[in-house]
Amino acid sequence: MKSLSAEAELARRLKGLAGGKARPPRDLASRFTARLSEVAARPDAVPIRLCGGKIEARAGGTLLAAAMKSGIRMMHACGAQTLCATCRVKVTEGAENLTPMSFKEKLSRRGVDAFLLRDRWNIMYLTGYWHTSTERPQATYMNKDDADPWFLYPGLDRDSVSSWWFGGGWQYFDVKEAEGAFPNLGTYAEGKTVDLFQLLLEGIKKHGVQGNKIGLDGEFYPQEAARAKEILPGIEWVRIGS
């Protein structure tokens, strides 16, 4: 292990290299050295060529913000809310350095910024929440900007759901339960049966929908489609099963 004085000396030398004016690199070794100096000086900066100029984007930031900071004008009609795609760009070089697109990014390319999964295999694959198929329906909902998924789930699986990747959700006691009844919490009731699909849709409405499209890993029955239109008017349901 290097001593603190040796590490300090190395840091001083790297800063010295970064502080001077770099000469035009003529060979691979000099280009490699210049790149090391650049990274050592600002390890979180990513150099990008855009519209004929060179800009630097910060890790975790956006290309739009970096361009505007550098004085390059880019249209963003939605106000940088990831809704209109007017600021999109085409990568002509360096695509091999990009990270693979996430599930959300793939949907966003189709103009879908929210999704609802009801197939248990899709739920398990995306969230890691392992469960079996029973008469008790379960579902996962997520907006593009949500940090964690939301769930429709039975009280029987409460601990399995909430102890994992969990942002919130809509718990019910069991199939064909009475409204307001949670025997597991000591609450008993007789009355109208809870419509679990309606519970899910109203929960999504209360949580909020990003954009005007929701991806769905399947299809609605006609009765479900009518109920979805009634509770979430103006929302287009896009099939994303494939």
> For the residues of the chain, what is the DSSP string, one character each?
---HHHHHHHHHHHHHHHHSPPPPP-SHHHHHHHHHHHHHH-TTEEEEEETTEEEEEETTS-HHHHHHHTT-----TTSSSSSS-TT-----S-GGGSPPPPHHHHHHTTT--EEEE-SHHHHHHHH-------SS--EEEEETT-SS-EEEEEGGGHHHHHTSS--EEEEESSTTPBTT-BGGGTB---SSBP-HHHHHHHHHHHH--SSSEEEESS---HHHHHHHHHHSTTPEEEE---
Q: 25-29, 133-137, 166-170, 178-182: which has the minimum mean pLDDT?
A: 25-29
- What token pair was written down for 44? 């979180």
Residue 90: exposure state from Cβ atoms within 10 A (0-12, 13-18, ≥19): exposed
Q: Give yes or no for residue 55 having a pLDDT over 50.
A: yes
Q: What whole-number percentage of the chain has pLDDT above 70?
A: 79
Who contacts 210 (Cβ-Cβ below 8 Å, separation ≥6)?
A: 113, 114, 143, 144, 145
Give the per-residue pLDDT at 23. Answer: 47
C-alpha–C-alpha distance, residues 152 and 143, integer Å: 15
Q: State mean pLDDT over 148-171.
A: 92
Which segment, 5-9, 58-62, 208-212, is predicted with the most confidence on average? 208-212
Confidence of residue 204 (pLDDT cuts 50, 70, 90): very high
pTM above 0.75, yes or no: no
Give the per-residue pLDDT at 205. Answer: 96
- What token pair was written down for 56? 């630097």
CATH architecture label of 114-239: 3-Layer(aba) Sandwich (3.40)
C-alpha–C-alpha distance, residues 31 and 39, integer Å: 12
In the chain the first and final C-alpha atoms are separated, in Å, by: 52
Confidence of residue 164 (pLDDT cuts 50, 70, 90): confident
